[in-house]
Amino acid sequence: MTKIALVTGASRGIGRACAIALARDGFLVWANYRSNQEAADSLKAEIEAAGGACKLVQFDVGDADAVAAALAPLEDETPASVLVNNAGITRDGLFLTMPREAWESVIQTNLGSFYNVTKPVLKGMFKAKYGRIVTMSSISGQQGNKGQANYAASKAGLIAATKSVAQEYARKNILANVVCPGFIATDMVEGLPEKEISKMIPQRRFGKPEEVAEVVAFLSSERCGYVNGAVINVNGGLFTG
Ligand code: NAP
């Protein structure tokens, strides 16, 4: 039987590394992206060159109608057994001067997407009595971060939502966990003073997307049998709470 994994925000960065790791592990990957067709095409080519299978699925995770329209026909055919809620954005700025639009777009994309995407996929998992859901939060969602009230709130919300779903569907063998990356070298952190920030990180460097993807690959697998509702740090020791 084809094992299917849906990865949101798979065209670049951490999501891309997750898609590649899951394809390596035998999943047909439904690779979601928002707009970067070139990056999505190159992901598909990379997975197929390595002998894996990938289907590109374009939608904005924050747009409930678009998500439903894209996922309904796929889920009707063969439901996904793995969901990686990875897509996310930042719109940083101090809270006092943060435009409402920056607040709302980040909450809608990062947290609203949990509702939009998880619900239809969970329905299929519920019927199949099996599923693995991995959601990408952030160290900002654990600690807060200056200039990221919107982002931190969205990422903290993902932790609480995941812990709730983990308790609701555990008896159906649907396990839901959160990964909290620290600083990972992707487009999202481009422009940050990496040298300066690395001095604060016990491992003295930013992480690689592949180092997050390996954790996601385990949490997405049947080898993950008794980890549920967990928050796993992948941050080089920056925060240990
Ligand atoms: P990235 O390099 O900016 O890549 C973002 C990916 O998400 C792209 O594939 C992008 O698609 C997709 N995306 C963005 N908005 C979307 C939307 N509305 N609908 C569908 N796809 C969308 O980001 P990243 O660093 O890999 O981050 C991935 C996740 O890890 C995010 O949730 C982020 O908050 C979290 N995280 C990252 C870090 C870090 O240091 N990098 C740390 C903690 C947590 P397009 O290519 O089409 O634009």
Note the CATH number of domain 4-232.
3.40.50.720
Q: Is 187 in the pocket of ligand 1 (CB under 6 A)?
A: yes
Largest Cα span, the chain? 53
- Above pLDDT 70, what percent of the chain? 100
Distance 1 CA to ligand 1 centre (A): 30
User: Taking a C-beta distance cutoff of 8 angstroms, is the pair 64, 38 a contact?
Assistant: no
First to last CA, the chain: 40
What are the φ and ψ backbone dihedral angles of 71, each rounded to 5 degrees?
-85, -30
**How remote is the CA of residue 48 from the centroid of ligand 1, in Å?**
22
**Which numbered atom of ligand 1 lies nearest the CA of 11?**
9
The residues spanned by each domain of the chain are 4-232
pLDDT at 2: 83
pLDDT of residue 132: 98
Ligand 1 atom with the shortest distance to the CA of 36: 47
Is the CA virtual torsion 118, 121, 123, 125 positive or negative? negative
| SS3 track for the chain | CCCEEEECCCCCHHHHHHHHHHHHCCCEEEEEECCCHHHHHHHHHHHHHCCCEEEEEECCCCCHHHHHHHHHHHHHHCCCCEEEECCCCCCCCCHHHCCHHHHHHHHHHHHHHHHHHHHHHHHHHHHHCCEEEEEECCHHHHHCCCCCHHHHHHHHHHHHHHHHHHHHHHHHCEEEEEEEECCECCHHHCCCCHHHHHCCCCCCCCECHHHHHHHHHHHCCCCCCCCCCCEEEECCCCCCC
Kindly list the catalytic residues.
151
* Ligand 1 centroid distance, CA of 12 (Å): 7
Q: What pLDDT digit, counting tens, does each position of 145-200 carry?
A: 999 999 999 999 999 999 999 999 999 999 999 999 999 999 999 999 999 999 99
Q: Give the up-direction half-sphere exposure of residue 127: CA atoms within 13 A in the CB hemisphere.
A: 10
Which pLDDT belongs to residue 241? Answer: 82
| C-alpha 9: how far from chain center | 7
Taking only the tens of pLDDT, the chain with its 241 residues reads 789 999 999 999 999 999 999 999 999 999 999 999 999 999 999 999 999 999 999 999 999 999 999 999 999 999 999 999 999 999 999 999 999 999 999 999 999 999 999 999 999 999 999 999 999 999 999 999 999 999 999 999 999 999 999 999 999 999 999 999 999 999 999 999 999 999 999 999 999 999 999 999 999 999 999 999 999 999 999 999 8
pTM of the entire structure?
0.99
Say how many residues make up the chain.
Answer: 241
Orientation angle between helical segments 113-128 and 149-169, nearest 10 degrees: 20
pLDDT number for residue 1: 72
Ligand 1 pocket test, candidate residues 8, 18, 34, 106, most atoms within 8 A of CB: 34
